[in-house]
Structure 1
Amino acid sequence: MLDSTQLALYRRLAREQSAGRAPSLVAAVVRDGEIVWSGARGRVGDARPDNDTQYRLGSITKTMIATVVMRLRDEGRLALTDPLERHLPGTAFGFVTIAQLLSHTSGLTSESPGGWWERSPGADWAALTASLGEDATKLRPGSRFHYSNVGFGVLGELVARHRGRPWFDVVRDEILIPLGMHRTTPHPEGAHADGFAVHPFADVLLPEPSPDTGAMAPAGQLWSTVTDLGRWTAFLGGHTGGVLSGNTLAEMHRMNTVDDAEVWATGFGLGVMLVRHEGRQVAGHTGSMPGFLAASLIDPATGTGALCMGNTTSGIGIAALCLDLIGITEKREPALDAEWQPSTVDPNLLALTGLWHWGPAPHLLRLTGDGRLTLSPVDGSGRVFGFAPLGEDRWRGLNGYYSGETLTVGRDATGTATHLNLVTFIFSRTPYDPAAPIPGGVHEAGWR
């Protein structure tokens, strides 16, 4: 990156560390799957932290649990609409669905009963589930957003049951090792930052505990480094390394619920936090545990992301810092558009492209480079709808009104495409073509 860009990024990091009085603060910018800048301020012991110094991730752990759950879904071991009872029988909230747990819409209590779990040695699954009675569900499932740490403790147990081994072993073998994240662990190993609280009225520190949180660990236990979290940020931006398909990651990024209905700035997909900021939508997660703050956010549209970690309980605007690092990078060195190249297409698909009419309204059907279709009004006044192939002459809607619906190509005896049937809406090559199965028929006198 340009020296001027690096200086601007480092200055923003320095300002946050100084104003927030963080013992140490590290950050990095990710672009096109790689760390392109990193910086550190403050001290860990007597030394400056570096890209191999571990910090606690907190709730960024949840994104990894969610990824394993989606892998189980893709393997056919569960459906997102399944009630929890089908997979973890015996809880008092078995009626909530897996999708509701992932998107924080289950209504499940935010924190586990008893002492504050983040500062207390954790109970095992049997003790946790025994403490969650009928009053564990605080809101009607599906009615609204309600962040639940407990929900991800539950999903960690779901992962363990399906794989037959502890949740971290599954995360390590199915995510961390394939992505080369060898310094992400449930407890600090080697060079690491200790967690502190900073006194609000004096420049002194108080060490914070970092116990094993037991059955609640899937909600925030993991520690990681700049190098590893950079790889994870790139994963969330689309460099999945074969751990997930691109379609599944896109599904995780799709808005399920909003945290702040008044302004729609923050919401959640499936285990992934979504933030709208200055015209872009970024995906990732923030994290906090006593003594630590962390964030990993990336704009999937441009491939530019940022990560930040500090060893302080409060005082740092960790998400705002990440967003600013992304904004500085994009402003000073905007991402280039992907280079266009021609592609080889099936002639039968090519023959589908062009002008189609819904009633008298002309639309254009286009074939994209990734083998999908888009349908949009000719005058540009409406939305562009995307479709992915389902099989011969069948396509599934990807967005908006037609999301999940089926588009079917109708052909005559010669195999020529005569109409499109989009969830009963008929598109024909000419307006109200009498040869197409127009609902209600076409007036016998025709146009006049």
Structure 2
Amino acid sequence: MVPHLVTALTGPINELEQRILESTPVIERWFRLEWMEHTPPFYSSVDVRNAGFKLAPVDTNLYPGGWNHLTPEMLPLAVQAAMAAIEKICPEAKNLLLVPESTTDTFYLSNLAQLQRIFYMAGLNVRLGSLSNDIKSPRTIELPGGDKVTLEPLLRSKRRLGLKNFDPCTILLNNDLSAGVPGILEDLHEQYLLPPLHGGWGTRRKSHHFKAYEEVSKRFGKLLGMDPWLINPMFSQCGEVDFNADEGLECLRSSTDALLGKIRRKYKEYGINEKPFVVVKADNGTGGMGILTVRDAKDIDNLSAKTKARMAVGQAGQEVHEVIIQEGVLTNERINSAVAEPVVYMMDRYVVGGFYRVHATRGVDENLNAPGSSFVPLAFEQSAQLPQPGVKPGASVPNRFYMYGVIGRLAMLAASYELEATDPDAEVYE
């Protein structure tokens, strides 16, 4: 099912696509050199928004679920990428422990079944170790479609984590640690824990990520001779906000006003006749919670009690005191007339696939990661890694997906910078 792009596909996005396609060898060499200096996250997914005049990431997840939404055609890419990732970390590995979220949601468990399948085909014994206190003995859960998963209780020795009769070389978290880091995962000195604990939402901040992405987009813009704004959502941050007590809202109001002014100037520069908006969201956490679309700074003064209560609590029931104010990026893509946005999936440094997040009742300027969303696999007739040079911009689906993959990898590179900068164990040189 190929997406319908509502825009006439003229203007900056086509110029950007043309520039990227013409620069493919330069881009791929640039990424190759970057990965010689930096370690990519083990796996990641990136929400991308295509406004027709701008293409930018709006969220980067270091603990991606949703692997079950990838098509069977994408599986070989994922398996090859998994082999490459494991080879770099623990070449002799035979056991992989996967630590999931504490939920019995069947959609999420289907994601675990797909991850198990990928790593099994990459040559690993994979078992699931649950952090939930409810799992006291192995529990097998049957899933729609015939899959099943078995959750087992974790066992901790002084320096290692495993399961009964299962000692893994590598532990892969598929749990974003929104509620903080459980003690059972700390002080492991003889095993590889991926992603690192400081990548969890207990410590990670979106503002750190987008600061790193801003740096990456400037360097990439210079490489291609283009305005980095075309691929970068501007943002600001407020760190002392209490929605329940009406504290810190002045920072939110002034930051929103300033950012809307910057967006207006950019829209004027490019002759864009759209109304600018910003998206206010918790600086940590995902799950589509605590998100507010604002078109006028005055709206901050008139937030309803219900909206404030919704904004005050994030994922895992955590209180929200830090927010990021991000330039809103419209989405002009549709699947069967419903608003859609691409989500790009990566493992190691490779794009392995993705899907469209689709929401029938949301608008082009709203968050689609909300109840009621559905998922349509990206129609990879050819790989996103195989652009078609010489094809007119906007006319080729593989070319458009290649562009999504470039943006996804830029966000992944930013995540690499971010993890290095926030590593508590990194040596600091004066």
Do the structures match in fold with TM over 0.5? no
Q: Which has the larger radius of gyration?
A: 1
TM-score w.r.t. the length of structure 1 is 0.24
Q: Whose helix fraction is larger, Structure 1's or Structure 2's?
A: 2
Higher RCO (CA < 8 A, seq sep 6+): 2
TM-score (norm 2): 0.25
